[in-house]
Chains A and B, each alone.
Chain A
Amino acid sequence: MKKSIIIIFTSLLVVFSVILMNGCYESKKVADKSGAQLWAENCNRCHNAPAPGEFNNANWDIVGTHMQVRANFTKTEVDKVITFLKSTNTN
């Protein structure tokens, strides 16, 4: 394996280990974000944000997990967004 790749890979592992050990600090500004705000910000990162009525509540749980994998959402983000979508869902 190339030396540069080993250096990069090791550096990334160290960074993530430190972050994980420190409990993933988030600022109050980020922690206070509502589900609606996170829905608008995170969905639109890649595509148009789907309206709450696009899926039923059970399917929102599944879609949320899919986005956790595909778009690297944190569990906290997913939970807040799904709670918001369910609370305004008419289906």
Chain B
Amino acid sequence: MKQKMFLLLCLFISGTVIAQSGQNKFTVLGDAEAKYTATKGESGFGEINFKPIFLWKISDKLFVESEIEIETGDGSVDVGLEYANMCYMVNPYLILHAGRFLPKFGAYRGRMGEAFINKFADDPAGFGDGGIGAMNETGVGALGGMPVGNMKLNYDFYISNGPQLLTDPENAGQFEYEAYTTNNKYSAVGGRIGILPFANSSLEIGYSFQNKSKTGDAETPYQNVGVNMEAVDLNYFHNIPAIASTIRVTGEFKYQKVDSATYYKDDQTPYSFKNVSTAYYASASIRPSLADSKILRNFELAGRYSFFNRPAEAPWGGSNVQQAEAAIDYWLHWNSVIKLCYFNQRGSNAAFSAQIVFGF
């Protein structure tokens, strides 16, 4: 761990020196995060994260982006490679890329869920850890955007290692979505197409899919278990001068269907279940960004409802999860924010959470 941290420190310092020395091909962005949570009988600070993003523009054609995540949410320091993506700019509308990347499966993970974008301190039900849908992929892809009259289309297609089926008694039927290596010789195919129907790009509607016909470990009875995922997302923002505010509405629906398989409990009892999950959220926020008062225009109010429908018979399933959350945010900078959130999950105690995010 110390070696990893030392390596990261060296990379960070060398990058800063290069950036200042006039070579001008490298920069470091990212954010730092800290969270406070209070619920009945328990409170404290945690989830201190540091997420530097390293960017190299090697030439007009070649570009590398990489994010390292140093997180503490599991009770110890966890260093992970979020992405290391090598991009080749083929033409103004087409980019080919390879490496470990954030697939555009829906719009929350990897985009609207980033801490300096998300209005809340938490993820919607089914969209964070333990949720469903693609997270990180290793493979190759093509992406881009293009105008079509007054509209715009964007796309992202990829072939990757894809999710890996878990079969241990606690997690049977779930997936490892962030594996660094493959578990068999089969690949996943996925992609997203987004449509921005208005000329001012205020509305984006996206459809995503991912399919992998064989997700289990090679040469096991689970190898032939396939999975199909689909998602629909929406993002709309609009300035309303009459109330000196900007409103934003976002939402996403995800669906995941896994082929049937026989799993085994701790006592070796066989069982199977219908492994279909869905998750969705809807969120709205308002910020008086056009107000004369600088203090007032830095405030933002947000509300969100989310629902995670899990297989009732799965060892990790059971009851569905419903969450409602309200937040008051104060923007210290364009990418730095203090979030105060009230969180209510059906069947659980209400909770208060606060998060500080400093972007750099």
Using a CB–CB cutoff of 8 Å, the interface residues on chain A facing chain B are 1-2, 5, 8-9, 12, 16, 19-20, 24-27, 29-30, 41-42, 44-51, 54-55, 58-59, 61-63, 65-66, 68-77
Q: Do B194 and A62 have beta carbons less than 8 Å apart?
A: no
Contacts of A46 in B (CB 8 A): 111-112, 117, 235
Given contacts A27-B149, A76-B147, 19 further A-B contacts (CB under 8 A): A1-B211, A5-B189, A12-B193, A19-B146, A24-B92, A24-B93, A30-B149, A41-B201, A46-B111, A46-B235, A55-B27, A62-B57, A66-B53, A68-B95, A69-B65, A69-B95, A72-B144, A72-B156, A74-B147
Q: Do A62 and B26 have beta carbons less than 8 Å apart?
A: yes
Q: Do B24 and A25 have beta carbons less than 8 Å apart?
A: no
Bound state CA distance, A24 and B213, in angstroms? 34
Q: Determine whether B143 belongs to the interface, using a CB cutoff of 8 Å to chain A.
A: yes
Bound state CA distance, A83 and B57, in angstroms? 17
Q: Do A12 and B92 have beta carbons less than 8 Å apart?
A: no
- B199-224, CB under 8 A of A: which get 1 and which 0? 11110100001010100000000000
Bound state CA distance, A26 and B153, in angstroms? 11
Beyond A2-B228, A48-B334, A74-B92, whether A66 also contacts B211 by CB under 8 A is no
Which residues of B from 133 to 179 have beta carbons under 8 Å from A?
143-150, 152-157
Contacts of A12 in B (CB 8 A): 155, 157, 191, 193
Contacts of A47 in B (CB 8 A): 114, 116-117, 334-335
Q: Which residue of A lies closest to B235 (CB)?
A: A45
Q: Do B201 and A45 have beta carbons less than 8 Å apart?
A: yes
Residue from A42, A48, A70, A74 with most neighbouring chain B CB atoms (10 Å)? A48
Contacts of A1 in B (CB 8 A): 189, 211, 213
Tell me whether chain B's interface is mostly helix, strand or loop, or mixed: strand
Least Cβ distance of B353 to chain A in Å?
21
Contacts of A76 in B (CB 8 A): 92, 147
Using a CB–CB cutoff of 8 Å, the interface residues on chain B facing chain A are 19, 24-27, 29, 53, 55-57, 63, 65, 85, 87, 89, 91-95, 97, 102, 111-112, 114, 116-117, 143-150, 152-157, 189, 191, 193-194, 199-202, 204, 209, 211, 213, 226, 228, 235, 237, 246, 331, 334-335
Contacts of B97 in A (CB 8 A): 69
Contacts of B152 in A (CB 8 A): 30, 74
Tell me whether chain A's interface is mostly helix, strand or loop, or mixed: helix
Residue from B24, B189, B201, B202 with most neighbouring chain A CB atoms (10 Å)? B201
Beyond A46-B117, A46-B235, A61-B57, whether A29 also contacts B150 by CB under 8 A is yes
Beyond A41-B200, A68-B95, whether A49 also contacts B145 by CB under 8 A is no
Q: Do B55 and A19 have beta carbons less than 8 Å apart?
A: no
Q: Do A70 and B237 have beta carbons less than 8 Å apart?
A: no
Least Cβ distance of A20 to chain B in Å?
7
Q: Do A25 and B335 have beta carbons less than 8 Å apart?
A: no
Q: Which residue of B lies closest to A56 (CB)?
A: B24
Least Cβ distance of B206 to chain A in Å?
10
The contact of B145 among A8, A30, A61, A73, by CB within 8 Å, is A73
Q: Do B211 and A30 have beta carbons less than 8 Å apart?
A: no
The contact of A26 among B111, B147, B235, by CB within 8 Å, is B147
Contacts of B154 in A (CB 8 A): 72
Beyond A61-B57, A62-B25, whether A44 also contacts B155 by CB under 8 A is no
Least Cβ distance of A60 to chain B in Å?
10
Bound state CA distance, A44 and B152, in angstroms? 16
Bound state CA distance, A44 and B202, in angstroms? 9
Contacts of B156 in A (CB 8 A): 72
Contacts of A48 in B (CB 8 A): 331, 334-335
Q: Do A63 and B191 have beta carbons less than 8 Å apart?
A: no
Can you list 21 A-B contacts (CB < 8 A)? A9-B189, A12-B155, A16-B155, A20-B93, A24-B146, A26-B147, A30-B150, A41-B201, A44-B246, A46-B112, A46-B117, A47-B114, A47-B116, A47-B335, A50-B334, A54-B334, A65-B87, A66-B63, A72-B194, A74-B152, A75-B89
